[in-house]
Every structure is written in C-alpha cells, then in structure tokens.
Structure 1
Amino acid sequence: MVDVQGLVERAGPALLRPVSTPESTGGVGDVVIAEPSESSVAGTSDVVLGVGLTHERQAVEQLRDCGERDAAAVLLKPPLSTASEVAAEARRQGVALIEVREGAAWAQLVWLLRAALADAESAADSSDRGGSASLGDLFRLSDAVAEVIDAPVTIEDAHSQVLAYSARQELTDPARVSTIMGRRQPEDVLAKFRARGTFRQLTRGSSAIYVPEQPDGTLPRLVVPIRMGGELLGSMWAVVPGEVSEQRTSAFADTAALVALQLLRRRLLTDSERQRSARLVRLVLEGGEGWRAAANELAVRAEPHRVVAIDMRAGDGTDEGHRLAMWEWITRGIGHRPLVTESGGVLYAVVPDRAGAGGWPALRDALLTHIRELDSDTPRPLVAAGTSVPVAELPTSRLRADEVLALLRGGTVDREVAVHEDLWHLLVLTRMAGAAGDAGVGALGPLHVLREHDRNRGTEYLDTLYAWLRHPGDPRAAGAELRVHPNTFRYRMKRISLLVEVDLEDVEVRSALLVQLLSERWNPHG
C-alpha cells in the first residue's frame, strides 16, 4: 500500500509539493474530492482534494474535519496551501498538507493518484469491462473525470462510439443504459441531441455545453468536446441532476486536455496495428511475392472474397479526414471486421462473399444504411464492388472494383453501391470506348461538327445526343438526365438534325455514335 510520501513522489514535483507532513503516515485508502457546500466525504486514510475551497476558513474547517476522520492528507492550491493558519491546523490535526502546483488540472491529479493506488487491480479492471490495457487506462480516467464532475460519465469518439464509461451508475436514464449496452448512442437519442443543436455546438466550440432535461424524461447532460490541435477527437457526456456550478463545470472542462492525450495515445496504438494490417492487405491485393504469407498472417479463409473500393474524395481538402472516418467506421466491424487498406486515396475492403456476419451482403446493407443517414454536409462516398473470386485472384477483384469506380466517378452510373455483375453491359461499352479512343475513331463521322459547335457556341449537343441514345424515344427521361424540360430537349434534337446528317434509325449508326461518345467521356483528353 502506498503512503502519502510515496504518492507525492509518484505524481512528481511538477504537480505536488509537501507543505506539512507528519513523521509517519499509513497507507492511502482512496482519493476523494471535497467541496464546501457538501457534507464531508473523507474517510480513514483518504487523500482529500479541496477542489472547491476558496477561503482560508473553509480550508481550516476541512483540515479539522479530516483530522477527526483520520484522513491521510489534504491537497490545496495556492494561496490556501501557503496560508500560515492552514499549515498550523494541518500540524495540529496530524494531517499531511500537500500543495498542488498552479496550472495543474484536478482531473489529472485524480487520474495519476488513483493510477498509483490501483496498479494491482488495473488488469482486473480492464478485463472485467472488456478492454485492452489502453482501454483500461481510459476506463480509469473516466472514473476520475466522474469524480471531478460528481456524475456518471461516458467518453465517446467523434462518431458517438463509446470508448469508456465510469463505474458509478447512481444517476442514469434509459438513454445512458442503451448507450453503454450498445457501445454507442442509439440513433433516436442522437436525433434528439441533433435537434437541440448539441452536435453543432460540439463541432464549433470548446466549452462545456449544458443540455436540459428533455420531455421524454432524458436527464440533463453536461457535454465537453475533446480537442487537440483544433481536431475534434470526441466528447465527454455527464448525466447530471440539473444545472452545475461554474467551478465544477470548469473543472470538468479542464479534464478534456488530459482525455485528449489518452485518446491520441490510443489512436497511436490503433494506427500502428492498422498500418501493419494495411501493409499485409496491400500485399494480398497486389498479388506479388509474399501475398500467400500475408494472407495467412491475416487469417484469410480459403473461400470466395470480394474487394470493395470506397472513394471519399470531397474535393474541399477534407478527403483524408473523411477517409479516416470511413476507415474507422468499417473496422468497427459488421460481424467480423473487414480487412482494409488504402491506396491512391481509395479505401479497399476485402470481405468474404457469403451471407451472415462479416460477409459481403452484411457490409453492403450497412454501407447503404450509413450512406442514407449521412447529413447534407458530408460527402457521399462512391462504393464499387468487384467480382467474387478465390483468395489467389483478389488482384482481379480489385481491378474490377476500380473499373466500376471509374463508372461512378465519370457519372455513367449513379448508384449508392455499384456491383460489377450488375453493370457488365456498361463495362463492355466502356472497354470498347477505351479501345476506340486508342484507335482514334473519334475523328470519324459527324461528331466533330457538334463538338466544334459546342466549343464555339456554348451549346450542349454532344450531351444531348448521348442522352437520346441512352433514352431513345423518351424525351422526358432524356430531359430529366440533362435537367432540362422535354420541349427543350426536343428543340435541341431538332437543331442537331439540321447541323448534321445522321440516320438515328440505323442500329449500327446508333451503336457507333454511342461508342464514340463513351470514348470521349472515358478518355476526354485522348
């Protein structure tokens, strides 16, 4: 058991300085927080943090109370820690008086001191709650933050996924219970907070946000964003009985910097594991030397798989952030976690082509749901699935996924999730168009006239003809594709017929024109 002196040494002189220490002190029992407005919380051998003490009289009374209860030490910040009457009372009571350096966060102290006391039980703590060593640290930190705010706390990432929660549960409601059970805030709960603008405040601000009780009985929340270097890493949610004092709110907000450091440490560990896995997945997708050993290390089963390509290009400089968010979303797991890597700004997920947890249908359905739930400010990802192949042929499935992704990028296809087998006819045409471009067939026939007219007059006759070929005899559908009125479309087609002589009733002419127009779209600079 650690004594007061040992505890001070572990925290270090940058945080703590002994002012008055009895000749002999026993082991420390617990770390508790005292405020002048509350009844005493000190117990035998406890270390008491005077978080809310502001007057010398309050400090003296706290020391007297701690002496009566055989507490081990009282921690105060200047100027209370240096007041002569306070030091004299500490000596009279036989209680150690420890100065907390200015600038030190109370939450940091709670975490450090409790970590020193809980070394022996930290492994059991993290095991009981299903965490790794780093998650165990995060759970202990959530307990420390809960002490500071005196309320149950959850620590969540930027996607409302629960990373840790405090042990204390004396104040709770169905929303907190379902959040902890599901390890993320349920959609209906998120919707309520979105409607109140809570998440908008989180993304824009850095101070604590008080959310009053809601009509359905959801208890009030005090929410603090967790930021580092301007990046929103997550948030902390405390279930509170009502308005919180300014001192406690400030102390709660001060914990954000400490939690941010822990989240970054956790991300560093996760990124290290992710980078290792990503390197192995790239080896498998490239199919070169070492792919089989990489597949074995990744434990890829000998069954058909698909490669799914996901392009998160937002075009506004936020591509990497959106890509990372999608990566984290995928690797939370749809049953078994897909294998993911990144290449050329595109995410590639390798999934078994079978029904059930972890298979392609489950990932497809989850992606469809995810895309449909995105808000209007979030760019919609382009999702393209390659063919189902044996593990040894995964490079082929990746090429097929890239081929479908090109259709999505070029606007030839507009689907939330595009699958190679569903688009074979378009792929035949685009391959023909690619070959036609290499052969220079674009210079043949009458299209050069329309091309020059569009370039010189600002018309859109090539697009109009392409829409007609895609929707022959249906000016309403063709006009909708071009976002013009059907009569406008008919007028454009009449103008085209006056500019060039072309028999659109001839199936071979239509096929040739379609290949030429696709060639221009597929290879516009060729």
Structure 2
Amino acid sequence: MVSVRSVVDRVGPTLLHALQVPDDSPAVADVVIAEPGGALTLAAGDLVLGVATTGPEDAAQLVKRSAEQGAAAVLLKPPLAAKPAVKRAAKASGIALVQVHAATSWAQLVWLLRTVLDALADESEDLDPGSGDLFRLADAVASVVDAPVTIEDTNSRVLAYSARQDLTDPARVATIMGRRIPDDVLARFRSRGVFRELSRGRQTIFVPAQRDGTLPRLIVPIRMGGELLGSMWAVVAGPVSDERAAAFADAAPVVALHLLRRRAHTDAQRRASAELLRGVLEGRANPRKAMAELDLSDEPHRVVAIEVTGGDGRDAEGLRLALLERISQGIGRRPVATELGGLLYAVVPDRPGPGGWEELRDALVGTGPSRRNGAARAAAGAPGEIGDLSASRGQADEALGLLRAEVLDERVITFDEAWTALTLRARRHCAGRVPSRRERRVVPPS
C-alpha cells in the first residue's frame, strides 16, 4: 500500500508539507490535474492537483468533490492550502490536504510524483534513484552544452560526471579523482565570487580561463522551490553562445528532480538507520542484526556523544544536523548517527584512518564554535563489540558530563582519558563535596 504520508516523505519537505492526513486515507493510485472549469472525474486513491484553483471557496469545493469520489489527497499551493475554510472542508470530508511549495512547477511535480509512485509501488525495487541515472543524465547534459560536465552538490562534492573528456584540465581531473573540487581550486573560484553568484540565483555563470591553466567554466545552479540543491559545471573552450547557455540552464530542472529523489531516498535510509541505532544504544535491538543492517564492520566501535550549544537562533535539531553534515565532509564514510535525548550520537570504528574514531575526532576538534553553528562538545565511550554499544554510550554520557560541568578544559575527550577525573569526581561526590581544580588533576597511584 502506497500511503499519502509515504509519498509526502519521499518527495520531501522542500516541495510538500502535509497539513492533514487522516489515519484511514486510501492508498494512493495516480496523479490527476484538476482542469479549470472542467468536469472532475476521479478514481479512488487519486492525488488531485489544484492547478487552476483561484480562491478559498473554489479550493474548498474541490476538496469536497475530491473526497466524494474517493481521492486520497488534494494538493494546493499557499495561501489557499492553509485557508481556514479549506482546512475545515478537508477535515469534515476526511481527505488529506497537502501544501505545495509556492515556487514549484506543477509540471515538474506531476513528473516527480509519478516517479515516486512507481518506485513505492514495487517494494522489491531498489528505491535509490541511482547514481547511474545521474551519470547518464550528465552525459545527456554534456551533449546539450557540447562540453564535459560535472554535477555537484552544495558542498562541491561530485555526484556524477559525463564520460566525454575531450576538453579537460588538471582541476577537472583532480575534481573527478577526489570526488570534490580541491580546496585550492575551490578557493580560486570562491575569490571570483562564483559561489556568491550561485546563491543569488543567477541562471548561468561564466568564469574565464585562469592563469594557472584552468580552462573556462560555464556554471548553472540547480534549484527547486527556491532551494539551491547543487550546480552543474561545464568545461568550455571560451565564451558560450546564448543559445548553448540557455540549453544548459534548461536542463537544470530535470537534474533538480533527480537530486530531490536522491535526497529523499537518503533521508528515508537515514531515518531507518537512526531508529535502529536508537534501539541498539538503548539495549532494545538485536546487536548482530543491527550490525548487518547498519553496515557496521566486525571490529571494536566507540559511541560518541555530541552536544551542540549556542547558534544564531536556529532550533537545536537543525544545529545538530548541520554539525553532522559538517563533520561528515572529508571523512571516509558518514558516521552511523542518531539523535537521542537532545544529543547526537555517532558510532565509529576504533581505529585510525578513513572513517575511524581518530578522523572523526580531528573533524570535531576542527569544528570550532561559530555564531551560526554554535559550539560542540563531544565524548567517546570506550571501544567495544557491537553488543557493548549501549555500555559505550553510558560511558560517553559520563565523560560528556565532565565537559558540561567544565571539570575538564577539553572540548573532545574519550572515556579512557576522562577515567581519572571521573573516579575522583565519584569519590568526592560520595564525600559530599566537589573536588577543586587542583585535586582533579591528581592521578591516583596504580
């Protein structure tokens, strides 16, 4: 059964926001556009797009008629979707009401919804939209602009690139080999204002050849619903005609749909992994089953408790997600992570090298406090097997308590390193007083 909620979750909050979804909503079957002035003929489970709805009364009537014919949901843009009369009609009729982002193209939404429905309808299908699709799309875009192309996310990581290499330079080679724009190349493009122009919504950006031999670039932002999802970079020989530049820009909405599908799939996987990891940390889940589903290697792991404080007014969850994104950049693999009790918990192998604790520690130490992202304190429990992760979490919490109480000056610490201070604190607590800073630095004889 394909539910309204699963469709909304898969498309993602960038485009859709469920205002009301009854528990007994019918399974979603198809997408139908409500034509202006036309007869409304629906089948059970249809998603009805109020493309030509003009006012609250018109929208409320569409909701009632859709419910009478067994539709699953009505999709409207603001401000109609949130009008009291429309919401009352949806509640009284028992039909789901979904708000569509104001800047979303109805045509793009129809294509995306049908793609999502096809994927959800086949539970045996790999729901990953497929990096292969993006690579084929990069080839198609390269043909349109007649130049080698890379598709990158907002962190300058390469998601796909075209096969043609007839026009290239060291910067493109290094970008593809490292799967992201090298820092020195990134700095040069940033100094030319490229990323500032991307954020401002320019349709195309031309960067002339540079003194170090970097060839010219034609860059197009990838946007959907007003949100910047990434960019496309074409290596060109020189200035590009208006026709070619426009054709390159016209491909961006198609790429945006693929990136949204990719992100929706990644978010769904992350939510499932986070829930399973919560079960492991709380001692509720089968450790061996969790190890397989979370793709954890058979080696000792540490649980790292991370607390984020401060920031510029964004909510705590947003700060934690932003931190996870930041510490994941440049790390061998994204840490298996979840939120629990207001903290971010990450599980990493206790080893040096890519993806290990030492690399995560370096990333956390390098993530200094800022006005926008706040400050982070982190503590890692002792290493243990998969069945010991709940104990490692408890140790991480204990060590983090020292950092919160400012017993230690560090921002990142392990349970091993904090053991002496923890022992002294426990003894002094039993004696009814808190140790002085000098006493806390005393190491008891072994």
Query: What TM-score do you get using the length of structure 2 for normalisation?
Result: 0.61
Q: Which residue of 2 aligns with 1:340?
A: 337
Match of 1:259 in 2: 255
Q: Deviations over 1:207-237 (max 9, x none)?
A: 3222222221111222222222333221111
* Aligned amino acid, residue 267 of structure 1: R
* Alpha-carbon distance, 1:199 to partner: 2.1
Cα offset for 1:203? 2.9
What's 2:55 paired with?
none
How far did residue 434 of structure 1 move? 7.1
The one-letter code sitting in structure 2 at the alignment partner of 1:404 is A
Residue 208 of structure 1 corresponds to 204
2:383 is paired with a residue whose SS is: coil
Structure that is richer in helix per residue: 1
Q: 1:208 to 1:402 in 2, by over 3 A?
A: farther
Contact 2:148–2:235 (CA under 8 A) maintained in structure 1: yes
In the TM superposition, 1:31-50 aligns within 5 A as none
Q: Which runs of 5+ in 1 are unaligned?
A: 1-13, 15-104, 109-131, 443-465, 472-510, 515-526
C-alpha contact (below 8 Å) 1:284/1:292 kept by paired residues: no
Q: Which is worse superposed, 202-211 or 427-436?
A: 427-436
* Counterpart contact for 2:287–2:386, Cα < 8 Å: no
Q: Quote the residue 2:347 is aligned against.
A: 350
Q: Report how far residue 307 of structure 1 moved.
A: 0.5
Distance in 2, matches of 1:318 and 1:238, equals: 37
Deviation string 1:226-252 (CA, Å, 9 cap, x unpaired) is 222333221111112222233333332
**2:297 pairs with 1:284:** no
Q: Superposed, which structure 2 residues align to 1:105-504 within 5 Å? A: 134-288=130-284, 290-298=286-294, 300-301=296-297, 303-313=299-309, 315=311, 316-317=313-314, 319-328=316-325, 334-335=331-332, 338-368=335-365, 371=367, 378-409=373-404, 411-428=406-423, 470=437
**Which amino acid is the alignment partner of residue 389 of structure 1?**
G
- Give the counterpart letter for 2:147 in structure 1: A
Counterpart AA for 1:350: V
**Equivalent residues of 2:306, 2:343 under 8 A apart:** yes
Q: Determine helix, strand or coil for the equivalent of 2:210.
A: coil
TM superposition shift of 1:325: 4.7
Q: Aligned partners of 1:246 and 1:420: how far apart in 2?
A: 61
CA–CA distance in structure 2, aligned partners of residues 218 and 164 of structure 1: 20
Change beyond 3 A, Cα 1:176–1:282: same
DSSP 3-state at the match of 1:341: strand
Q: Is the 8 A contact 1:333 1:358 kept in 2?
A: no
CA offset digits 1:290-340 (Å, max 9, x no partner): 344323543545543210123345532165455445445666784465422
**1 CA distance for matches of 2:157 and 2:297?**
29
1:300–1:174 CA distance, 2 compared to 1 (3 A): closer
Conserved? CA contact 1:334–1:358, under 8 Å: yes
Change (3 A) 1:319 1:255: farther
Matches within 5 A, 1:13-32: none
* Residues 59-95 of structure 1: per-residue CA shift (max 9 Å, x gap): xxxxxxxxxxxxxxxxxxxxxxxxxxxxxxxxxxxxx
Give the deviation of 1:470 after TM superposition: 4.2
Matched residue of 2:221: which SS?
strand
Asked if the contact 1:284–1:295 (Cα under 8 Å) also holds between the matched residues in 2, the reply is no
| One-letter amino acid of the structure 1 residue matched with residue 412 of structure 2 | V
CA root-mean-square deviation: 3.6
TM-score, length-normalised on structure 1?
Answer: 0.52
Q: Do 1:143 and 1:166's aligned partners in 2 also have CA atoms closer than 8 Å?
A: yes
1:308–1:384 Cα contact (<8 Å) kept: yes
Query: Which stretch of structure 1 is more off in the superposition, 155-164 or 405-414?
Result: 405-414
1:188 Cα deviation from its structure 2 partner: 1.3
Of residues 145-154 and 135-144 in structure 1, the stretch that sits farther from structure 2 once superposed is: 145-154
User: How far apart are 1:177 and its partner, in Å?
Assistant: 0.6
Paired residues of 1:352 and 1:358 also in contact (CA < 8 A): yes
Amino acid at match of 2:251: T
Are 2:288 and 2:386, in contact at CA under 8 Å, matched by a contact in 1? no
1:81 aligns to what? none
Q: What secondary structure sits across from 1:287 in the alignment?
A: coil
Alignment partners' CA distance in 1, 2:429 and 2:249: 58
Taking the aligned partners of 1:407 and 1:329, their CA distance within structure 2 comes to: 25
Q: Structure 2: which amino acid aligns with 1:365?
A: D
Secondary structure in 2 matching 1:159: coil
Question: Secondary structure of 2:314's match?
Answer: coil
Q: Cα 1:302–1:263, aligned 2, differ >3 Å: closer, same or farther?
A: closer
Equivalent pair of 2:205/2:218 in contact (CA under 8 Å): yes
- Report the secondary structure of 1:201's partner residue: helix
Q: Structure 1 residues 333 and 240 mapped into 2: Cα distance closer, same or farther (>3 Å)?
A: closer
Deviation at 1:395, TM superposition (A): 1.4
- Opposite residue 158 of structure 1, the aligned amino acid is T
Q: Is the 8 A contact 1:152 1:171 kept in 2?
A: yes
How many percent of aligned residue pairs carry the same amino acid?
57
Is residue 331–residue 337 contact of structure 1 (8 Å, CA) maintained in 2? Answer: yes
Structure showing greater relative contact order (alpha-carbon pairs closer than 8 Å, 6 or more residues apart): 2
Structure 1 distance, partners of 2:289, 2:195, is 45
Displacement of 1:167 after TM fit?
1.7
- 3-state secondary structure, aligned to 2:130: helix
In the other structure, the counterpart of 1:92 is none
Amino acid at match of 2:349: P
